[in-house]
Structure 1
Amino acid sequence: MKRFITGQHVSLWRLTKRVTAQNPMMKYLIKKIPPYPTPVEFWVSNVAHVTDETGFKGILKSEQFRAPKSELSWWDLKIKKEEIRAAEKNYMKRNFSNKAKEPNEQKPFLETFTTSPLFQLKKSRYGNYRFTFPLAELMEWYKEQNCGGKEPVLRVYGTVTYKQQIVYTVLIHSPEDSERFGEYPLLEASEWVRYQDGKIIWKAQAICETHRYQFVSGEVQRLKTHLFYVWDQVSLVFHLPNRTKPCKAVKIPRQRLIEALEACKLDRKIDLLRYKSPKNKEERFFEAKMKVSELKRELEEEVKEEKSEAENDIKMEVDP
């Protein structure tokens, strides 16, 4: 069951007060969860867009991201290992300053808790093809192509709740549409999400989904059993109106698209993919992996060929 709370990023604690007893999420929210790291602040520089085979082919052919069925293009955070490590060090410094060690001495612990679907980078619930870009790069393309060179506006779009998942959505739009989206607060109003220097700063409240450990006095302890709980994440929503002619889009050269492309497995538990195929999940992943590898090999050959031609041109200019 999906619910949308407009214009607010509602905290986990406040959701326990707002969600009704009939909502399937309530059975998770009322659980008494053993201590775990929360909130954890991640400074995230990359975002990803996952799609099925049809979407993948369309993006490569058109060399652009559009929103044909709506006006919104959805992107999720893609958190790197070094960003988890940095969040871990900052968490210890803020909460256990007496136990905080030098960076090279601190034993990693956060990876034990970052087990929600957001952190499972080899899996996806939405398709086998993932495009990943630095957010700063994507914002620059959007700025030049859709904002007339002006800085995009970021707003608190809302909180989306599912049975176990909480999504804090950030609306990104052109300054031209400020009046249209004026009902949504600027992102500065959010307690949980900020944007700074091309990075999303996210204060994550629930990072586990399945809790198998607890965190007591700065130490990891294994639980005797496991507990299912909610998990939160951030999604960026780029406004790309499709009623204009031509439709608004983020245009990216084919070479850059292929560089940013990777194959990912479909989640075995939850598959939100609407793409119909006679092939099973393993077959589709293998096919995607082969297609991505082939595209990258072709690109590598093209780059080598271009480099060779450039070197020959230089040689011809230098030789008498």
Structure 2
Amino acid sequence: MDNIVTRYNRGSKELVFLNEHKSIEELREEELNEHMWRRYLRRRPLLPEVKLTISKLQHVTTKTGVKGIIRNGFKGEYYAIGNCNYGPFSYWSGVVDPEEVETEISDWIEENTELDPSDMNANSPAFSEESLYGNYKFSLDFEDVLNAYEYRFCGGENAVFRVFGMSCFKQQIVYTVVVHSPYEDQFCDFPLLPNDPDNSICGLEDDTIFWWPESVSSFNEYNDDESIDWRKYFVWDHLVFAFHVEHYFQFTKVFLLKHLTPCQLYEVNICMEKETRRTAKKFIKWLKYCNR
């Protein structure tokens, strides 16, 4: 199968690169006649250099999704591309500690004295408390999710991390890491996640996942043709973990409810069951009462 595939995801054009995580600079070298090239690759962005630790994993869903998760666990979904179906996967977003983000960005700005700190804020959607997908957010420690996965799906052995690929949308870049059992051979053709996190978009070192985001602000600086005038554009990137699950990925109800919180939707979102944060908070309170 071709490593570069175009498909449509919820009505949005998605350019998929399988088996690799490309930086913006590497994408620019492709000179692709695609929406992302017209939107942001032709520009010369000011790219931050911050190395962040993935400390938590997050799964955001709707009220319908919450009911199913509390009842049965996290359900796997197949990822269809071309004539291939991969999975089923349980998807989780990588989350970094807010204090680490602030510290790393502040240190980087100090080393780049020509920057105005007000132009480099850690307000990318990847770091936001708001959501594009639903009003209900499960936030678990990375270690807790990994330990539970290895116990249920890996026979207690270490899970395998591989570079699944990346998806480029109009204003979003998604880097996906597949996590699977050492006994699963479906993903043998995908490269292992690098153990050199200082020279890759993300990498594994001493059981810790590191990520180098290339967009930490809601608006990014760029200039054309080495002009002294800097302008702004918007694109954000984030890291997603696709856990291969042969059946439901289950936790106890008490544990799940302990780590479930309401969240506000972005003004522009792709949620099909829109609620207010207040309504979601009341429903979570009711769930906890019913499952005491």
Q: Deviations over 1:132-190 (max 9, x none)?
A: 0001110000000000010000000001110111111100000011x321110000177
The percentage of counterpart residues that share the same residue type is 27
Q: Matched residue of 1:40: which SS?
A: coil
- TM-score normalized by the length of structure 1: 0.73
1:143 aligns with 2:150: yes
Q: Matched residue of 1:50: which SS?
A: strand
Q: How many Å separate the matches in 1 of 2:43 and 2:210? A: 28
Q: Which residue number corresponds to residue 205 of structure 1?
A: 214
Q: Which residue number corresponds to residue 104 of structure 1?
A: none
Q: Which residue number corresponds to residue 124 of structure 1?
A: 131
Q: Matched residue of 2:69: which SS?
A: helix
Q: How many Å separate the matches in 2 of 1:92 and 1:52? A: 38
Question: Which residue of 78, 81, 104 maps to 1:87?
Answer: 104
Q: How many Å separate the matches in 2 of 1:27 and 1:68? A: 30
1:15 aligns with 2:27: yes
Alpha-carbon distance change, 169 to 111 in structure 1, aligned in 2, over 3 angstroms: farther
1:258 aligns with 2:257: yes
Q: Which residue number corresponds to residue 270 of structure 2?
A: 272
Indicate if the aligned counterparts of 2:137 and 2:263 stay in contact, CA closer than 8 A: yes
Pairs within 5 Å for 1:209-248: 209-211=218-220, 227-241=232-246, 248=247
Alpha-carbon distance change, 163 to 59 in structure 1, aligned in 2, over 3 angstroms: same
Q: How many Å separate the matches in 2 of 1:68 and 1:236? A: 13
1:66 aligns with 2:65: no
Indicate if the aligned counterparts of 2:213 and 2:238 stay in contact, CA closer than 8 A: yes
Indicate if the aligned counterparts of 2:202 and 2:209 stay in contact, CA closer than 8 A: yes
| Matched residue type, 1:168 | Y
Q: Which residue number corresponds to residue 162 of structure 2?
A: 155
Structure 2 gap ranges (5+): 1-12, 79-86, 224-228
Q: Which residue number corresponds to residue 195 of structure 1?
A: 204
Q: How many Å separate the matches in 2 of 1:52 and 1:89? A: 35
Indicate if the aligned counterparts of 1:136 and 1:199 stay in contact, CA closer than 8 A: no
1:286 aligns with 2:278: yes
Report which of the two structures shows the higher radius of gyration computed on alpha carbons. 1
1:54 aligns with 2:46: no
Q: Which residue number corresponds to residue 122 of structure 2?
A: 114
Indicate if the aligned counterparts of 2:222 and 2:232 stay in contact, CA closer than 8 A: no
Q: How many Å separate the matches in 2 of 1:198 and 1:85? A: 23
Alignment RMSD (CA, Å): 2.9
Alpha-carbon distance change, 21 to 213 in structure 1, aligned in 2, over 3 angstroms: closer
Indicate if the aligned counterparts of 2:14 and 2:169 stay in contact, CA closer than 8 A: yes
Alpha-carbon distance change, 71 to 231 in structure 1, aligned in 2, over 3 angstroms: same
Q: How many Å separate the matches in 1 of 2:31 and 2:245? A: 32
Aligned residues: 263
Alpha-carbon distance change, 25 to 164 in structure 1, aligned in 2, over 3 angstroms: farther
**Displaced runs of 4+ in structure 1, greater than 6 A?**
none
| Matched residue type, 1:274 | M
Q: How many Å separate the matches in 2 of 1:202 and 1:287? A: 34
Q: How many Å separate the matches in 1 of 2:118 and 2:52? A: 12
- The offset of 1:52, in angstroms, is 1.0
Indicate if the aligned counterparts of 1:20 and 1:26 stay in contact, CA closer than 8 A: no
Indicate if the aligned counterparts of 2:98 and 2:127 stay in contact, CA closer than 8 A: no
Q: If each structure's helix is expressed as a fraction of its own residues, which one has the higher value?
A: 1
- The offset of 1:27, in angstroms, is 2.3
Q: Which residue number corresponds to residue 179 of structure 2?
A: 172
- TM-score normalized by the length of structure 2: 0.80
Q: Matched residue of 2:91: which SS?
A: strand
Structure 1 gap ranges (5+): 100-108, 215-223, 242-247, 276-280, 303-320
1:3 aligns with 2:15: yes
Q: Matched residue of 2:284: which SS?
A: helix
Q: Which residue number corresponds to residue 312 of structure 1?
A: none
Alpha-carbon distance change, 68 to 158 in structure 1, aligned in 2, over 3 angstroms: closer
Q: How many Å separate the matches in 1 of 2:30 and 2:146? A: 34
